[in-house]
Amino acid sequence: MVQTRILPPADNAYQYPLLIKQLLLSGPRLRPEQEIWYGNHSKYTYTDLVERIHRLANALTDAGVKPGETVAVMDWDTPRYLECFFAIPMIGAVLHTINVRLSPDQIVYTMNHADDAVVLVHDDFLPVIESVKDDIKTVRNYIQLTDEASAKSTELPTAGEYEALLAKAGTSFDFPDFDENSIATTFYTTGTTGNPKGVFFSHRQLVLHTLAMTGALSGYDEMPLLRSSSVYMPVTPMFHVHAWGVPYAATMLGIKQVYPGRYEPEMLVDLLKEHKVTFSHCVPTIMQMMMGTESIKTADLSNWHVLIGGSALTKSLCDASAKLGIHMYTAYGMSETCPLLCATHMKPEDLELPLEQQTAKRIKTGIATALVEMEIFDPEQPGCPRRRSKRRSGCPRTLADPELLQGKRERRRTLEGWLVAHRRRGLDGPGRHPGDQGSHQRRDQDRR
């Protein structure tokens, strides 16, 4: 690293750390009365969101949670989960977003491996936890989440029901400063072999990812996914890479948010119509299910922008969505990259074509987002990092990304400071990338 002249801080200058609590400043300030909905069941304002985050912080500390401990969540896509996205890391604890789609044995493995101390669990997942409770070694207490008038009875040791605990908790919490490299969140990917693989992210990484994502999704007239007038509804599980990080960006901007709860295709389309949703993100299979509902036949989808990830957006799905008036975009990333790396980037001349003729551009993953560097290497180039396997091929790509995880709970192959991961799709010209393919991510500490 080049040695340069460093500006020394003035006496008593505030060393501003990049912490998740900073992402909560602007939205409530700009749009205090903006709405956050839980389906069609309930709603509250951004002012209420801030108070509830403070109440949750007090409830967690009253339950004995200390900085550095891990607090896990098993819930559907709800405003409660959004509150946990903020309150848990803001008190210095680590948020573990449990993958509820894992088998019970795998869920036990991730909970023990993450050292979960307290678990917030929805009624729907109580049977799973109760069936394996004797194998869970680290959890000392549970907090129940319910959508009914009262929580279900359980044999688990509980601190109480979520809403009841918030109701009696204090309305103000003094969120402390700490090192921006403190772990904020952790979750486990579904590994192709062996146990799920755990990754974790720092406050610094999540703040940088939020800023980069906001620029990519809101800064261009040709891609108006997140704007002040947007209505956002995630159709990606919040346990998976923080719903791709979009809830943090949406909250920072202060836009209307609609959390659907459990995914039911007809219900999702009804919410889309009722709230005039303008932006969602999901995987192709969910999109196909929604497009196959009866409700969608009477929906005006001309202002619905959908970011597709998880697997490739096919030409047939993009063509079918265009006939319904849906504006589709593709994104690519990895669990290790927080996740967004690159996305479709439309230009003014692209939009001059009829929507049905824009498919070729929309199904490409596009161009690297802000703060991400990409470089394509010839696989035959001497010294080019590549996996020694006859089953994999393609041009490796190197990535330098400040949102890249600093560590992983399992060892990963590295080469000269670059994290090595191989995928199976090829390239599509300079600076563009149509889907999964070889990549090498440079660790953040090598860039500082």
> Using the 8-state DSSP alphabet, how is residue 435 labeled?
S
Of 165, 189, 213, which one is at a domain's C-terminal end? Answer: 189
Domain-embedded: residue 407 = yes
Domain-embedded: residue 242 = no
Q: Which residues contact 421 (CB under 8 A, 6 or more apart)?
A: 334, 336, 412, 413, 438, 439, 440, 441
- Beta carbons of 98 and 107 less than 8 angstroms apart: yes
The segments of the chain whose pLDDT lies below 70 read 191-192, 375-448
For the chain, counts of helices (H) and of strands (E): 13, 21
Domain-embedded: residue 394 = yes
- Interatomic CA distance for residues 342 and 87, integer angstroms: 29
Provide the residue range defining the domain that includes 298.
263-447
- Interatomic CA distance for residues 197 and 192, integer angstroms: 10
Domain-embedded: residue 85 = yes
Do residues 183 and 306 both lie within one domain?
no
Of 159, 189, 219, which one is at a domain's C-terminal end? Answer: 189
Domain-embedded: residue 311 = yes
Domain-embedded: residue 229 = no
Do residues 135 and 283 both lie within one domain?
no
Do residues 45 and 175 both lie within one domain?
yes
Domain-embedded: residue 406 = yes
Do residues 185 and 275 both lie within one domain?
no
User: How many C-beta atoms surround the C-beta of residue 261 within 10 A?
Assistant: 19
Do residues 173 and 322 both lie within one domain?
no
Do residues 411 and 273 both lie within one domain?
yes
Of 189, 205, 233, which one is at a domain's C-terminal end? Answer: 189
Query: In this predicted structure, what is the pLDDT of residue 402?
Result: 63
Report the domain count for the chain: 2
Question: What is the number of residues in the chain?
Answer: 448
Query: In this predicted structure, what is the pLDDT of residue 425?
Result: 38
Tokens of 198: 């755990």
Do residues 178 and 274 both lie within one domain?
no
Do residues 175 and 281 both lie within one domain?
no
Do residues 303 and 160 both lie within one domain?
no
DSSP track, 99-125: -TTS-HHHHHHHHHHTTEEEEEEEGGG
Do residues 317 and 171 both lie within one domain?
no
Report the CATH number that the domain containing residue 379 is assigned in CATH.
3.40.50.12780
Do residues 29 and 163 both lie within one domain?
yes
Query: Alpha helix (H) ranges present in 33-188?
Result: 46-62, 79-90, 104-113, 126-132, 162-168
Do residues 54 and 138 both lie within one domain?
yes
Domain-embedded: residue 327 = yes
Query: In this predicted structure, what is the pLDDT of residue 427?
Result: 36
